[in-house]
Amino acid sequence: MSKKEITTLTLKPGREKSLLRHHPWVFSGAIARVDGNPASGESVDLVSAEGQFLARAAYSPSSQIRARVWTFNPSEQVDADFFRLRIKNAIASREPWLVNGITNAFRLIHAESDGLPGLIVDRYADTLVLQSLTAGSEYWKDTLATLLLEATGLTTIFERSDADVRELEGLAPCIGPMRGTLNIQPLIITENDLKFHVNVETGHKTGFYLDQRFNRQRVRALAEGRSVLDCFCYTGGFTVNALAGGARSVLSVDSSGDALALCRENCSLNDLPLDRQASLEGDVFQLLRKFRDEARSFDLIILDPPKFAPTAALAEKAARGYKDINLLAFKLLQPGGILVTFSCSGGIDAGFFQKIVASAALDAGVEAHIVEHLSQSPDHPVALNFPEGTYLKGLICNKL
């Protein structure tokens, strides 16, 4: 698309401030006028009320985020060459963080933080898994798939564009092979000398929680000789690492029987002592209360719940859930025990999450220290102009 064909979106007076700070989102309420009739995902030029060029963006007529910026450079055209360079730069930026072959599974493209809003690409061994979450990434999806194979030398891309946020973009779910043939499921990946089965067709997100890689390693270092309770364990990322670290016992809890079965398989895959691992299917909130009533206790508890608050509007309601599970966890910890607790809710920032955990400790009647702050692994970077990219918050707390 040539520049003369690009539609112009004119902002209301004073609404250009975020763009001048290079924040990549423009909300519908900031737009005064749309000159033309751009299709969903097409490129548009954003200009101030005075007609000053601000950015080139993808148009999303169905979303409250009406435009997501591709580039702030007026001379940069959004075309295949543009995406080729962005993909090349994203891949190169991962190399310093994935030295020594610590894993063959990692995030290759992290949406806005890599200058590619709405595009998530994870690599699992020789398979790429693509998520298109916005109108812009959807518009360019086939081009992006071709360029990804060109950049990686791989032949297989599987699409997992089934996240709820696609509804806000007016997009239907889309799951299935995009390029090549998917190998027999589940795939096997390696991470810090451990192996994991990953089902990219039906697993959470794109199949595995790659953002917890460094935090799993941290749990491994803390687990020796401890009795461990792994809540919301999914397919056992923390369970496997705790056992590999020499945990005395691990109880893995999740609401999904299929996930627990894969958790057990992952323990077997690594020749870990199965007599030290037990699984329990059920609602984690109810089971934590049951453990409290039974006066059970643990030396190390991991809380890695699903997203309670995808937006800030739901933060207060979600805070009650986070407080509840953390309060119960503090009660279940032995003196000197360790709580490793997380929130992946974008609507709850790190400061608010710390306040929630502090309030939980107070109501539980315990004293505790924060000994470490945790975040997402470095293949999930956060662009300084897009603080919303900091979604995973974690704390290691020591009960006194």
Per-residue model confidence as pLDDT tens digits over 262-299: 999 999 999 999 999 999 999 999 999 999 999 999 99
Question: Looking at the structure, do residues 293 and 373 belong to the same domain, yes or no?
Answer: yes
Burial level of 268, CB count in 10 A (0-12/13-18/19+)? Answer: exposed
Higher-confidence residue: 102 or 354?
354
The answer to whether 284 touches 305, Cβ cutoff 8 Å, is yes
pLDDT higher at 101 or 171: 171
End-to-end, the C-alpha distance of the chain in Å comes to 63
The CATH number for 160's domain is 3.30.750.80
Q: Identify which of 64, 119, 67 has the alpha carbon closest to the alpha carbon of residue 90.
A: 119
The token duo for 215 is 């935090």
Instruction: Say whether pLDDT at 314 is over 80.
Output: no
Whether 118 is in a domain gets the answer yes
**Which value, to the nearest 10 degrees, does the dihedral of the CA atoms of residues 117, 144, 123, 344 take?**
20
What's the whole-number mean pLDDT along residues 211-225?
97
Same domain, 106 and 19: no
Residue 101 has a pLDDT of: 76
Is residue 360 within 8 A of residue 327, CB to CB? The reply is: yes
Residue 397 is among the residues annotated as catalytic for this protein: no
Return d(Cα 67, Cα 26) in angstroms, integer.
Answer: 5
Give yes or no: residues 31 and 177 share one domain. Answer: no
84 and 67 together in one domain:
no
Residue with tokens 């250009």: 16
The whole-number pLDDT of residue 315 equals: 77
229 conformational bin, left if phi > 0, alpha if psi -120 to 50, beta if neither: beta
Same domain, yes or no: 49 and 97 = no
383 neighbors 112 (Cβ within 8 angstroms): yes
Which of 22, 40, 71 delimits the end of a domain?
Answer: 71
Percent of the chain with pLDDT over 90: 90
Segment among 63-67, 262-266, 305-309 with least mean pLDDT: 305-309
Choice among 231, 263, 344, 397 that is catalytic: 344
Query: CA-CA distance, 85 to 144, in Å (whole number)?
Result: 11
Q: What is the pLDDT of residue 309?
A: 65
The pLDDT of residue 358 is above 80 = yes
Task: Say how many domains are in the chain.
Answer: 3
> Which of 187, 220, 248 lies at the terminal end of a domain, its last residue?
187
Name the residue range of residue 344's domain.
Answer: 209-399
CB-count exposure of residue 204 (10 Å: 0-12, 13-18, 19+)? middle
What is the band of 51 on the pLDDT scale with cuts at 50, 70, 90? very high
Whether 202 is in a domain gets the answer no
Question: Which among 116, 30, 148 is positioned nearest to 389, based on CA atoms?
Answer: 116
Specify if 198 maps to a domain: no
- The domain boundary residue, chosen from 135, 156, 187: 187
Q: What is the CATH number of the domain that holds 63?
A: 2.30.130.10
Q: What rounded mean pLDDT belongs to the chain?
A: 95
Residue 182 pLDDT > 90? no
Q: Binning pLDDT at 50, 70 and 90, where does residue 3 land?
A: very low
Whether 63 maps to a domain, the answer reads yes
Please check whether residue 197 lies inside any domain of the structure. no
H/E stretch holding 80: helix 80-94
Rg (the chain; Cα; Å): 23
pLDDT class for 1, splitting at 50, 70, 90? Answer: very low
Give me the numbers of helices (H) and strands (E) for the chain, helices first please: 11, 20
Query: CA distances (Å), 60 to each of 57, 119, 138, 146, 256, in order?
Result: 9, 14, 10, 23, 35
- Evaluate if residue 327 carries a pLDDT over 70: yes
> For residue 96, what pLDDT is reported?
86
Query: Residue 310's pLDDT is what?
Result: 67
pLDDT of residue 97: 82
Residues 242, 385 within the same domain: yes
179 with 236, same domain?
Answer: no
Does residue 60 sit in the same domain as residue 87?
Answer: no
Phi, psi of 372 (to 5 degrees): -165, 140
Asked if residue 365 and residue 287 are part of one domain, the reply reads yes
Could you tell me the CATH number of the domain that includes residue 370?
3.40.50.150
Domain match, 88 and 56 both: no
| Interval 72-90: pLDDT, tens | 999 999 999 999 999 999 9
Share of the chain above pLDDT 70, in %: 97
34 and 147 part of one domain: no
Task: Report the pLDDT value the prediction gives residue 311, as an integer from 0 to 100.
Answer: 66
Query: Is residue 107 in a domain?
Result: yes
What per-residue confidence (pLDDT) applies to 146? 98
pLDDT one-digit tens code per residue, 159-169: 999 999 999 99
| Model pTM score | 0.94
Residue 120 pairs in a beta bridge with 110, 131
What pLDDT is recorded for position 341? 98
pLDDT at 183: 77
Q: What is the mean pLDDT of residues 137-155?
A: 98
User: 398 burial class (0-12, 13-18, 19+ CB within 10 angstroms)?
Assistant: middle
Question: Do 243 and 342 fall into the same domain?
Answer: yes
Residue 138, domain member (yes or no): yes
**Domain annotation covers residue 113:** yes
What is the DSSP secondary-structure string of 293-313? HTT--EEEEEE----S-SSGG
Q: How far is CA 30 from CA 24, 34, 368, in A?
A: 13, 11, 45
Burial track 49-77 (b if 16+ CB lie within 10 A, e otherwise): eeeeebbbbbbbbebebbbbbbbbeeeeb
The pLDDT value recorded for residue 317 is 80
